Amino acid sequence: MIRAQSLLKVVDNSGAKLVKCIKVKKKGGKAHANVGDIVLVSVQSLRPRYGRRIRLKMNKSEVHNAVIVQTCRFFRNKAGVGISFESNSVALITHQQKPLGTRISAILPSRLRGLKWAKLAAMAKKII
């Protein structure tokens, strides 16, 4: 479960490395978010640039939307298999709910595909 002030790892290649959750969006008053929910995040640290060739899409302390793709909390999928990850991770998205990065370097749960995030699932390295 992700709450406000939680530090989250970014798993896409948008340029951010670590973000902080500011607010959980579209939950109807609930204060926590799970896999597939949208949160408002602030960029805390950036990935290092190797030379000037790489242009980052963001700066430090910018505010972006993000989708939670991994949580440490244990949950069961429809087949009854329990899944938990080792870190709380997000993928950054635009205001039109399109991915900001072009690759995702993490294993994603198949639950995301059913929650209208099929484009994120297609960019992932592996789906379980």
Range of the domain at 53: 7-127
Helices (H), 7-117: 111-114
| Residue 26 within any structural domain of the chain | yes
User: What pLDDT sits at residue 53?
Assistant: 59
| Residue 108 within any structural domain of the chain | yes
* Overall average pLDDT of the 105-125 stretch: 84
Q: Which parts of 25-122 are beta strand (E)? A: 38-46, 63-70, 75-76, 82-83, 89-93, 107-108
Q: What is the pTM of this model?
A: 0.86
| Residue 2 within any structural domain of the chain | no
| Residue 70 within any structural domain of the chain | yes
Q: Which range is most confident: 25-34, 75-84, 114-123?
A: 114-123
CATH of the domain at 69: 2.40.150.20
Distance in Å from the first CA to the final CA of the chain:
20
| Residue 88 within any structural domain of the chain | yes
Number of domains forming the structure of the chain: 1
| Residue 15 within any structural domain of the chain | yes
| Residue 1 within any structural domain of the chain | no
pLDDT in tens, 48-104: 876 555 566 778 889 999 999 999 988 877 778 888 899 999 999 999 989 988 889
| Residue 46 within any structural domain of the chain | yes
